[in-house]
């Protein structure tokens, strides 16, 4: 199905199941421990062996020699795979061959060997006996020393640099100016389920049970790396214990499970030990961001410029921290630039809302700083500079843009009018209390997505697609879509996900999964409805599907009759025309936060949080709310505690476990309110939805930072905002 014009009649609009707060259909399996994760396929491939990865002890250099004699002689050892005996590994789209290092080493904890043994304990013990002789080389680990870096060709969603008008002249002429630099640190995904895989070979065919967000991408990369046809690789990933972008691509667990299984001649399981989750896999890169804003005395932005520096391995990609600045606020003269330093740190790549999450940590503080210079309320300054067209391409309007409504709705609900504009004025006992605001922004991306839908003789509708569920509720919204389209209760729908034998979906990432995958199910259901109507002798344009019946005029027939003694099946893919080119499609929101700062210790406590979101039709308010409050929690982590600390002598992340890498816990997070504006976007898809998962994190950290300033009068531009950055300055506002 090609979607290029909004439909005048749409079965989804009935909203009998879609749009309802349906409980997650996978919830019982997850809460009873019967959902099968990547490391738990005990019956699918009996008698598996266990692999344990040896990570490099240097960040840059070469392996002179590896002594495997003691490890091979250890009890239970079946095989040891290194770059020397792995065979030729081809360079996939993300250079997956480098997931196994040697002789060259690219970063600390790069996998250099996998030891396969009868038990996990034996594999771990033998791995300690692998002796590697390294020749260490000098590496580059400090972004701040490499700001004169290369210009990349592009960032996600556009060119590396943009320019409209004459920014330099407009900024110089502006009566009110802001020129400030902000930094964000390296951050880790730190999801509960580690990267884990089990591999089994049947002749030349590989089956890989793995924890991965994008099935089709990974089939292609694994196949190319191993130099086998894609048809010979099957990936299975029905349940994923957190991804956040860290499981978009194949990692060492998947490749080395496959290599280990081939070497041992039996199935092999590999799970990355927690330190390798930090230094072996991907992370969010640190940024240095300079923001310049010029405005008239009445608050109209006349010039806005955003420059960003980040780092990655050779051939890597930059963080797209400037992306939201191209679209969020008006201003005739503007520019953005992105530079990329080559660093010998673990790979930098996508992490929830890549680009906007880090960019808005800086931009939305800068807007507040500008509001203070102008003497204008921060909410009103954002409203004053709203735009209904793409500021870089004024001929293109937004399909929908309700940022102003998000800000005003949130301000009213949060009690913004009671806020003290002057910082450090509100106390609650020993606590200084302040409130902060930030806009939220994330683009809506359209990606083709396919599904297969089957109807059997008992009236059960089964949906099959390689879409994944990373804890986001994909199972439930897909079931709701099929139930709505076929006119059956949700308990009559079976959803099967995460298998490369199923039609290729959008996959999970970039908050594109919900809208696109359900649109693919919609397309398949349209085909199935046509097949049902034809089988029952109805005109498909006039047939109504409801309550397990197909109705037309005075005639009503049970849906199940269309399947006869067998089944009816239909498969289709949603593909998009040029609506995304005609209209800028984005999601918007506003975050409001109240914090307390202890006057003696500078301890920071988040007291209240509110998010207001405009993201098209909300397919399931219950699962959507869970997505947003989880994202808000991640935003608090980014603001107050998350930081991968680099040993700049040896080039590794020191705090590479969950004891040293701090994330928010229940006691850190207060009650969180979420408001969804009632809207549909007919330009987005037949579902009229967009995405919500990443919008919830965009702007949160800045709202926390702005609240801390309002409470204490101390402006911190370097994240995370830890108490040591406040403590010596608090007496200034005592």
* pLDDT surpassing 90 at residue 721: yes
**Of the candidates 321, 250, 195, the residue with the CA atom closest to the CA atom of residue 638:** 321
End-to-end CA distance of the chain: 64
* pLDDT surpassing 90 at residue 579: no
Domain boundaries, the chain: 2-35+446-579, 38-136+193-279, 356-444+585-733
* pLDDT surpassing 90 at residue 733: no
**Do residues 628 and 696 lie in contact, with contact meaning Cβ atoms separated by under 8 Å?**
yes
Mean pLDDT calculated for residue range 103-112? 98
The CATH number of domain 2-35+446-579 is 1.20.1250.20? no
Percent of the chain with pLDDT over 90: 95
Q: Say which residues have a Cβ less than 8 Å from residue 185's Cβ, sequence separation at least 6.
A: 286, 642, 643, 644, 719, 720
Q: Given this model, what pLDDT does residue 731 score? A: 59
Residue range 356-444+585-733, CATH number:
3.30.365.10
Which tens digits make up the pLDDT trace of 651-682?
999 999 999 999 999 999 999 999 999 999 99
* pLDDT surpassing 70 at residue 615: yes
Show the tokens assigned to 437: 């605001």
* pLDDT surpassing 90 at residue 585: yes
Q: Is the pTM of this model over 0.85?
A: yes
Give the integer Cα–Cα distance in Å for 378 and 265: 64
* 38-136+193-279 and 356-444+585-733, same CATH topology: yes
Q: Given this model, what pLDDT does residue 97 score? A: 85
Which tens digits make up the pLDDT trace of 373-427?
999 999 999 999 999 999 999 999 999 999 999 999 999 999 999 999 999 999 9
Q: What is the 3-state secondary structure (H, E, C) of 504-517?
A: CCCCCCCCCHHHHH
Mean pLDDT calculated for residue range 694-718? 98
Residue range 38-136+193-279, CATH number:
3.30.365.10
Q: Given this model, what pLDDT does residue 734 score? A: 43
DSSP of 272-324, one letter per residue?
--HHHHHHTS-BBPPEEEEEEEEE-TTS-EEEEEEEEEEEESTT-----TTGG
Count Cβ neighbours within 10 Å for each residue of 620-655 and write b for 16 or more, e otherwise.
beebbbbbbbbbbbbbbbbbbbbbbebeeeebbbeb
Mean pLDDT calculated for residue range 704-727? 97
* pLDDT surpassing 50 at residue 720: yes
Percent of the chain with pLDDT over 70: 99
- Active-site residue, selected from the candidate residues 187, 307, 694, 732: 694
Which tens digits make up the pLDDT trace of 194-251?
999 999 999 999 999 999 999 999 999 999 999 999 999 999 999 999 999 999 999 9
Counted residue by residue, the chain has a size of 734
Which tens digits make up the pLDDT trace of 31-66?
999 999 999 998 999 999 999 999 999 999 999 999
Output DSSP code: residue 541.
T
What are the Cα distances from residue 616, in Å, to 4, 213, 439, 585, 670?
A: 17, 23, 17, 10, 27
Q: Given this model, what pLDDT does residue 732 score? A: 54
Give the integer Cα–Cα distance in Å for 538 and 535: 8
**Do residues 680 and 614 lie in contact, with contact meaning Cβ atoms separated by under 8 Å?**
no
The values of phi and psi at residue 540, to 5°, are -60, -30
Strand partners, 67: 131
307 labelled catalytic = no
Mean pLDDT of the chain: 96
């Amino acid at each position: 199905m090609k979607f290029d014009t909004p439909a005048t009649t749409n079965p989804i609009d009935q909203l009998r199941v879609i749009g309802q707060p349906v409980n997650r259909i996978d919830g019982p399996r997850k809460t009873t421990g019967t959902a099968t994760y990547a490391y738990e396929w005990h019956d699918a491939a009996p008698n598996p062996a266990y692999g344990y990865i040896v990570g490099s002890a240097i960040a840059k250099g070469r392996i002179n020699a590896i002594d495997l004699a003691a490890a091979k002689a250890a009890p239970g050892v079946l095989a040891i795979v290194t770059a020397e005996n792995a065979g030729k590994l081809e360079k996939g789209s993300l250079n997956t061959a480098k997931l196994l290092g040697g002789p060259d080493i690219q970063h600390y904890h790069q996998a250099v060997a996998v030891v396969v043994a009868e038990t996990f304990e034996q594999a771990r013990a033998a791995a300690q006996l692998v002796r590697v002789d390294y020749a260490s080389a000098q590496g580059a680990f400090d972004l701040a020393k490499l700001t004169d870096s290369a210009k990349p060709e592009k960032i996600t969603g556009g060119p590396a640099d943009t320019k409209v008008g004459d920014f330099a002249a407009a900024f110089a002429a502006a009566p009110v100016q802001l020129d400030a630099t902000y930094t964000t640190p390296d951050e880790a995904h730190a999801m509960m389920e580690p990267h884990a895989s089990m591999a089994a070979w049947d002749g030349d065919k590989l089956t890989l049970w793995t924890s991965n967000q994008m099935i089709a991408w990974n089939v292609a990369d694994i196949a190319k790396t191993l130099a086998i046809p894609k048809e010979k690789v099957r990936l299975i990933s029905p349940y994923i214990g957190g991804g956040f972008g860290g499981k978009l691509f194949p990692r060492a667990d998947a490749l080395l499970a496959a290599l280990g299984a081939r070497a041992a001649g039996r199935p092999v399981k590999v799970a990355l030990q927690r330190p390798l989750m930090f230094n072996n896999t991907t992370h969010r890169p640190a940024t240095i961001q300079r923001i310049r804003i010029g405005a008239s005395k009445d608050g109209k932005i006349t010039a806005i410029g955003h420059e960003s520096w980040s780092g990655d391995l050779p051939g890597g990609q930059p963080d797209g921290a400037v992306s939201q600045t191209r679209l969020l606020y008006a201003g005739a003269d503007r520019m953005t630039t992105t530079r990329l330093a080559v660093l010998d740190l673990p790979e930098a790549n996508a992490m929830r809302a890549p680009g906007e999450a880090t960019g808005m940590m800086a931009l939305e503080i800068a807007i507040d700083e500008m509001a203070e210079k102008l003497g204008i309320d921060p909410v009103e300054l954002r409203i004053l500079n709203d735009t209904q067209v793409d500021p870089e391409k004024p001929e293109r309007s937004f399909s929908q843009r309700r940022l102003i409504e998000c800000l005003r709705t949130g301000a009213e609900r949060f009690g913004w009018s009671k806020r003290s504009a002057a910082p450090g004025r509100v106390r609650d006992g020993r606590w200084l209390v302040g409130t902060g605001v930030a806009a939220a922004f994330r683009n809506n991306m359209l990606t083709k997505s396919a599904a297969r839908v089957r109807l059997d003789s008992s009236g059960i509708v089964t949906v099959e697609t390689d879409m994944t569920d990373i804890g986001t509720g994909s199972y439930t919204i897909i079931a709701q879509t099929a139930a709505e389209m076929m006119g059956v209760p949700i308990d009559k729908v079976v959803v099967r996900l995460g298998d490369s034998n199923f039609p290729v979906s959008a996959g999970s990432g970039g908050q594109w999964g919900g809208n696109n995958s359900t649109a693919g199910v919609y397309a398949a259901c349209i085909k199935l409805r046509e097949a049902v109507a034809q089988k029952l002798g109805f005109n498909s344009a006039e047939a109504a599907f409801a309550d397990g019946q197909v109705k037309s005029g005075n005639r009503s027939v049970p849906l199940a009759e269309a399947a006869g003694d067998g089944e009816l099946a239909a498969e289709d893919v949603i593909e998009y025309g040029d609506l995304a080119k005609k209209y800028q499609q984005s999601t918007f929101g506003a975050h409001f936060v109240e914090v307390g700062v202890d006057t003696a210790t500078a301890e920071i406590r988040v007291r209240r949080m509110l998010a207001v979101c405009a993201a098209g039709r909300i397919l399931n308010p219950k699962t959507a709310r869970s997505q947003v409050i989880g994202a808000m929690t991640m935003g608090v982590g980014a603001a107050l505690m998350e930081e991968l600390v680099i040993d700049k002598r040896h080039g590794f992340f020191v705090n590479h476990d969950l004891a040293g890498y701090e994330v928010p816990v229940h006691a850190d997070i207060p009650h969180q309110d979420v408001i969804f504006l009632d809207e549909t976007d007919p330009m987005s898809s037949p579902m009229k939805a967009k995405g919500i998962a990443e919008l919830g994190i965009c702007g949160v950290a800045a709202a926390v930072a702005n609240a801390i300033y309002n409470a204490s009068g101390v402006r911190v531009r370097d994240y995370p905002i830890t108490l040591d950055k406040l403590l010596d300055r608090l007496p200034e506002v005592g």
